[in-house]
Structure formats: structure tokens, C-alpha cells
């Protein structure tokens, strides 16, 4: 990967490689854009096959956060961290405390939270070294792991997508194929089960599958079978790039609505599912409940205010479908335009009527 060329092409600000020999920390912080405010995005810990794969994931996720925070109306930019390692066996206190000191060194340009492979406890360790972390334990005035709130937003967004596809937003009797039954999707399945949806689930973690089968009477399928299920809705809630040349031909669903970040491998895949008539809830819009929730911590957490704003994901998804139909563009393009137009407006206004303590008059004093 030609890093500078990639960063220049996609307008990235900063890429920070963090290493700590004592703890084994190998972290990559990607800051995409801070026009709207400090970059906020979670920290993912994963067994990447290569350093290049980790760098690319950090960059893609960080740009997604810029669009997510902009479309959600937040005064936050986009950033993300990936830590190379197995979250089940490579974690230690020093790792997250060292990482917290690296975040502190960025002096508020980047604020972190949870993502795949990291937990509220990990955030608490980071919090020992910096205040630029959210999703920490409630005792620190936070809201804890945002996953359940993300799940609520995905549930509301899925209902809006169902209304677009089937004429009403009830999920009763609908079959939902869920990929990855982790933090977010387990709570999502609770909402869906409660409303009477039928669940098909898969996960590479068999304990996670077993838990969902026992709790919701879900049907379990193998990981590579999830795409071809005869389901009304496909809910990708694992990793990204799963809407691609290999999986699209298998899809039988009418709706794609899930929590995973960066679901489209490439923009062309968003075009293809649009042409197939599949209703696609743009990933960074439907899964923005987590960031909306933790952003509320920055103003002094108020759960009622946060949950009300997360419920509004329903309306935002409806607005995006309306733009998509009005302008005859795929829904992911409509979402991108919404985000890019807000960033451009704020960038323009910030470039005007600049207050500057240095002027010709000040030099006369």
C-alpha cells in the first residue's frame, strides 16, 4: 500500500503507529478528518493477517467515522484505532495504559471507545492515562459499553428499511439472517425476538451461536451459508467488506440492515445491490447509535436525551431513502452526500470572519 498516496487520495490528516515493547502494544491510530471537531472512533483489537491489513482497516474505519459523525449531526470528526493481537489472550493492563498515553499525546485530536475485541474494562484502563476516552464505566460518569444502544439504533433503522421494502415497519413474522452474534447483535436479536421476528444466526464463535439458539430459538447455520438464506432481511453484524463479488450473487434478501462498519467492499457493490432492488440501510447511519450515545457523555451523559436521539435513526434512514428515490441514486450515495454537504458547509463557515489575535494594530502596541 502506498500510504501517503492513499491518505492524499482520501484526504486523511494523520496516521499514528504506536509501539510498546513491554506490553506488546502494536496500535495504529488513523485520524481522517477533524473539520467538525475532535475525531471520535472506537478501538478494534483483531488478529490481522498482516500489518498492511491492519493499517488499511484503520484507515477505512476512520473515514467511515467521519461520515457517520457528520450524518448523525455530531460535532465530531472521524478516527479509529486498530490494535494487532488476539483479544482473547494478548491483552494486559500495561497495553491499554500505554495506549492511553499515546492518545493523551494527541492532545484531544482523537477520542476513543469500544469496538470489536475491546471492552468497557479496557476503556477504564485507557481512562487511567487520558480523559480522551468514552464508553467507560458508569462510575466515571459514562454510559458503559455502547453496544446495546447501537443495537437499539440498528433495530429502529431496520424497521424503517422494512417499511421501505414491505410497506410497513413491523418485523413480526419477518425472517432475519444475522451474521455475528456478538455485543451488538445479541441485543438486536432480543429486540427482534420480542417483536416476533424469526432468526437465523451464524458466528465463528460457536458459544455465541449456542447462546442465540437457546435464548431466541434461532436457527444456526454455518458462516458461509448466511448469505444464501431465504430471509427477508440480512443483518451483517460482524466485520466489513462482506457485500462483495462472491456474496452478492447468493443474496435472496430484500433488505440489508446491520451494525457492521464498512459493509460494502467497494462502492460498485452498493450500486449492484441497488440495481437488484435490495433496500440497503447505509451502515454508518444505521449503526450510529453507539457514537451518538458516547458523544452525549461529552456534554454530561443524559440517557433519556441519548436514547431519544438514537431513536431518530429511523427518521434519518427514511430521509436517506427519500433522497435516494428523488435523485435516483443508491442509498449509500445519498448518505455520503448528506455527510459531505454538512462537512463542506461547516468548513466554509469556519473559513470566514476569522478572529486572529495577531494583526497590524497589535504590532503597534
Ligand X SMILES: NC(=O)C1=CN([C@@H]2O[C@H](COP(=O)(O)OP(=O)(O)OC[C@H]3O[C@@H](n4cnc5c(N)ncnc54)[C@H](O)[C@@H]3O)[C@@H](O)[C@H]2O)C=CC1
Cα separations in angstroms, 258 against 235, 264, 346: 4, 12, 29
E strand segments, the chain: 14-20, 25-33, 39-40, 43-46, 77-84, 110-111, 175-179, 198-202, 219-220, 233-236, 255-256, 279-280
> Considering beta carbons, is residue 2 or 222 the nearer one to ligand X?
222
CB 152 within 8 A of CB 310: yes
- Under the binding rule (CB under 6 A), the answer on residue 115 touching ligand COI is yes
The 3-class SS string of 119-184 reads CHHHHHHHHCCCCCECCCCHHHCCCCCCHHHHHHHHHHHHHHHHHHHHCCCCCCCCEEEEECCCHH
Residue 239: contacted member of ligand COI, ligand X, none (CB under 5 to 8 Å, by partner type): ligand X
Binding site for ligand X (CB under 6 A): 114-117, 146-147, 150, 179-185, 202-205, 208, 223, 237-239, 259-261, 287, 290
Residue 237: contacted member of ligand COI, ligand X, none (CB under 5 to 8 Å, by partner type): ligand X
Cell numbers 427477508: residue: 232
Q: Which stretch binds ligand COI (CB under 6 A): 16-24, 108-116, 275-283, 338-346?
A: 108-116
Q: List the x/- string, 135-164, binding to ligand COI by CB under 6 A.
A: x----------x------------------
Grid coordinates standing for 352? 470566514
Q: Which stretch binds ligand COI (CB under 6 A): 24-32, 205-213, 287-295, 316-324?
A: 287-295
Residue 157: contacted member of ligand X, ligand COI, none (CB under 5 to 8 Å, by partner type): none
Helix/strand/coil for 202: strand
Instruction: Give min distance, CB of 150 to ligand COI, in A.
Output: 6
- Name, in order, each residue with C-beta under 8 angstroms of 2's C-beta and a sequence gap of 6 or more: none
Name which of residues 25 to 64 contact ligand COI (CB under 6 A): 41-42
- Name, in order, each residue with C-beta under 8 angstroms of 164's C-beta and a sequence gap of 6 or more: 255, 279, 318, 321
Instruction: Give min distance, CB of 67 to ligand COI, in A.
Output: 11
Q: Which residues are catalytic?
A: 80
- Under the binding rule (CB under 6 A), the answer on residue 113 touching ligand COI is yes
Estimate to the nearest angstrom the gap between the alpha carbon of 350 and the chain centroid. Answer: 27
- Under the binding rule (CB under 6 A), the answer on residue 330 touching ligand COI is no
Residue 238: contacted member of ligand COI, ligand X, none (CB under 5 to 8 Å, by partner type): ligand X
Residue 201: contacted member of ligand X, ligand COI, none (CB under 5 to 8 Å, by partner type): none
Chain contacts with ligand COI (rule: CB under 6 A): 41-42, 68, 113-115, 135, 146, 261, 287, 290-291, 294
Amino acid at each position: 500500500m502506498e500510504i501517503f498516496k492513499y491518505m492524499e487520495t482520501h484526504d486523511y490528516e494523520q496516521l499514528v503507529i504506536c509501539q510498546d515493547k513491554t506490553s506488546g502494544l502494536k496500535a495504529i491510530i488513523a485520524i481522517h478528518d477533524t473539520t467538525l471537531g475532535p475525531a471520535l472512533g472506537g478501538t478494534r483489537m483483531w488478529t490481522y493477517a498482516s500489518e498492511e491489513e491492519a493499517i488499511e482497516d484503520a484507515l477505512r474505519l476512520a473515514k467511515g467515522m467521519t461520515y457517520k459523525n457528520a450524518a448523525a449531526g455530531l460535532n465530531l470528526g472521524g478516527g479509529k484505532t486498530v490494535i494487532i493481537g488476539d483479544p482473547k489472550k494478548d491483552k494486559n493492563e500495561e497495553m491499554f495504559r500505554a495506549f492511553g498515553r499515546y492518545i493523551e499525546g494527541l492532545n484531544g485530536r482523537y477520542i476513543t471507545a469500544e469496538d470489536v475485541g475491546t471492552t468497557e474494562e479496557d476503556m477504564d484502563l485507557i481512562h487511567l492515562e487520558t480523559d480522551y476516552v468514552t464508553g467507560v464505566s458508569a462510575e466515571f460518569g459514562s454510559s458503559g459499553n455502547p453496544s446495546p444502544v447501537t443495537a437499539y439504533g440498528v433495530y429502529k433503522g431496520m424497521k424503517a428499511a422494512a417499511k421501505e421494502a414491505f410497506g410497513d415497519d413491523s418485523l413480526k413474522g419477518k425472517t432475519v439472517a444475522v451474521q455475528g452474534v456478538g455485543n451488538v447483535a445479541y441485543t438486536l436479536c432480543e429486540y427482534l425476538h420480542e417483536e416476533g421476528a424469526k432468526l437465523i444466526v451464524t458466528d465463528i464463535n460457536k458459544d455465541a451461536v449456542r447462546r442465540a439458539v437457546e435464548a431466541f430459538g434461532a436457527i444456526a447455520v454455518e458462516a458461509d451459508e448466511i448469505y444464501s438464506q431465504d430471509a427477508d432481511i440480512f443483518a451483517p453484524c460482524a466485520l466489513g467488506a462482506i457485500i462483495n463479488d462472491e456474496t452478492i450473487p447468493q443474496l435472496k434478501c430484500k433488505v440489508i440492515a446491520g451494525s457492521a462498519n464498512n459493509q460494502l467492499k467497494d462502492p460498485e457493490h452498493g450500486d449492484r445491490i441497488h440495481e437488484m432492488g435490495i433496500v440497503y440501510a447505509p451502515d454508518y447511519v444505521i449503526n450510529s447509535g453507539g457514537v451518538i450515545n458516547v458523544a452525549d457523555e461529552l456534554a454530561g451523559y443524559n440517557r433519556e436525551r441519548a436514547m431519544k436521539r438514537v431513536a431518530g435513526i429511523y427518521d434519518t434512514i427514511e430521509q436517506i431513502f427519500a433522497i435516494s428515490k428523488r435523485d435516483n441514486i443508491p442509498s449509500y450515495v445519498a448518505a455520503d452526500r448528506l455527510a459531505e454537504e454538512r462537512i463542506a458547509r461547516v468548513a466554509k463557515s469556519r473559513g470566514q470572519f476569522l478572529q486572529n489575535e495577531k494583526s497590524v494594530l497589535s504590532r503597534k502596541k
